[in-house]
Amino acid sequence: MENGPLYQRKVLLGVSGSIAAYKSAFLVRELIKWGAEVQVVMTTAAKDFITPLTLSTLSTRPVYSTFLHEKDEKYGVWNNHVDLGLWADLMIIAPASSNTLSKLVTGACDDLLSAVYMSAKCPVYVAPAMDLDMYKNEATSSNLEELTARGVTVIPAEHGELASGLIGQGRMAEPEDICQFISAQLLEQLPLYGKNVLINAGPTHEHIDPVRYLGNNSTGQMGVALAHAARSLGATVTLVLGPTHYPLDLSGLHVVRVVSAKEMLTAMQEYYSSSVLTICTAAVSDFVPKTAADKKLKKTTMKGSMSIDLEETPDILATLGQTKRIDQRLIGFALETNDGVGYAKDKLRTKNADAIVLNTLSSTTGFESNTNAVEVFFQDGEQHSLPLTVKSELGEQLLHRVLDKFQWV
């Protein structure tokens, strides 16, 4: 699931000895479906329930279970628990047996899994699985309480039929539910969770006649990069996109397609009041023909030359700036060929923006390029340079800088 909170997350899946270990195979598949990278570490007891081969095939990575790499035991190749612990963005121990839970609590690390847990700095989830009486046992409940108090998230066992034939609480949560549970929790922790972000991008086309227009070479890449950055921080993103033909990844975004500056303004106004952050990256045409011919203009009528009467398009950023509320933040872009800093500072004031992002036009920056370098100017005079990098990366850096400034992180 691209752009979900588990997308491209490095997940360390610890599998311990419980009959529910067979469900780990489904959990690996489910995590991979959500876009996670999965590294399995299993206890020796877990191998009695599911083979390392099954889990390594599904995760497409070797499965580790001992401190010494089994294949290379005689050469003494070390499975480094510290490296594994640091590699992970999150650790899930599922199934977590009663034995493994108690080791997590006491800090006993006589196997790779518990040693990795001790080294891990990332959030840890445990999904217990055991027979109902073991689950009810005070030792288990106090271990779970203790782990919760230390910041480990317990994904409670479910009620149902158990391997023993008994019915009660002890079944490991279903792999789909584990992924849903973790995703929902990760999502809620993101700084833009529950917030709407509005971004415009691309050029506008102002029609002269049915086949000709005034436009520019904007691809929309910068806006889309910011949109994905905002989405990966939990925002619901509406992207108002002008007529670009550049192949853009628009997955996970609410996209409103427009052609002209006037249409772009209407679309932006529709979503503006419900958005806490609005970023105007679009290269909006400054002029529109006063009238667009309804039939193609013919060369024969021009007598060698012709002129087109133009009028100004609405300034979208400035229009939105006029009704900006105290809880809203508005950011504009400026693409300049000369005197950029002066123009950028001027736009902060005239358009009532909270920040202006200045980029210049060169073979590696601005339109058509997939890299960019920018300078950000804030209302209070603070200024930051973000050096040349690919636009997707720059989008993330820029958004972090902005959120940091607005104290939204």
Point out the residues that are catalytic. Answer: 216
Question: What is the smallest separation between the CB atom of 374 and ligand C5P, expressed in angstroms?
Answer: 12
CA distance 276 to 403: 11
Q: Does 263 bind ligand C5P (CB under 6 A)?
A: no
Could you give the string, one character per residue 226-255, with x where binding to ligand C5P holds by CB under 6 A and - elsewhere?
------------------------------
How far, CA to CA in Å, does 1 sit from each of 25, 57, 88?
A: 18, 20, 19
Question: What is the smallest separation between the CB atom of 198 and ligand C5P, expressed in angstroms?
Answer: 12
CA distance 404 to 409: 6
**186 vs 334 by CB, closer to ligand C5P:** 334
Could you give the string, one character per residue 297-326, with x where binding to ligand C5P holds by CB under 6 A and - elsewhere?
----------------x-xxx---------
Q: Does 280 bind ligand C5P (CB under 6 A)?
A: yes
CA distance 270 to 405: 27
Q: Does 261 bind ligand C5P (CB under 6 A)?
A: yes
Q: Does 21 bind ligand C5P (CB under 6 A)?
A: no
Question: What is the smallest separation between the CB atom of 282 and ligand C5P, expressed in angstroms?
Answer: 4
Could you give the string, one character per residue 321-360, with x where binding to ligand C5P holds by CB under 6 A and - elsewhere?
-----------xxx------------x-------------
Question: What is the smallest separation between the CB atom of 351 and ligand C5P, expressed in angstroms?
Answer: 6
Question: What is the smallest separation between the CB atom of 353 and ligand C5P, expressed in angstroms?
Answer: 8
Q: Does 286 bind ligand C5P (CB under 6 A)?
A: yes
CA distance 353 to 348: 5
User: Both tokens of residue 161?
Assistant: 């039929």
Of 284, 355, 358, 403, the one binding ligand C5P (CB under 6 A) is 284
Of 241, 282, 373, 399, the one binding ligand C5P (CB under 6 A) is 282
Question: What is the smallest separation between the CB atom of 343 and ligand C5P, expressed in angstroms?
Answer: 7
Return the closest-CA partner of residue 240 out of 283, 206, 210.
283
For residues 284 and 214, is the Cβ–Cβ distance under 8 A?
no
Binding site for ligand C5P (CB under 6 A): 261, 280, 282, 284, 286, 313, 315-317, 332-334, 347
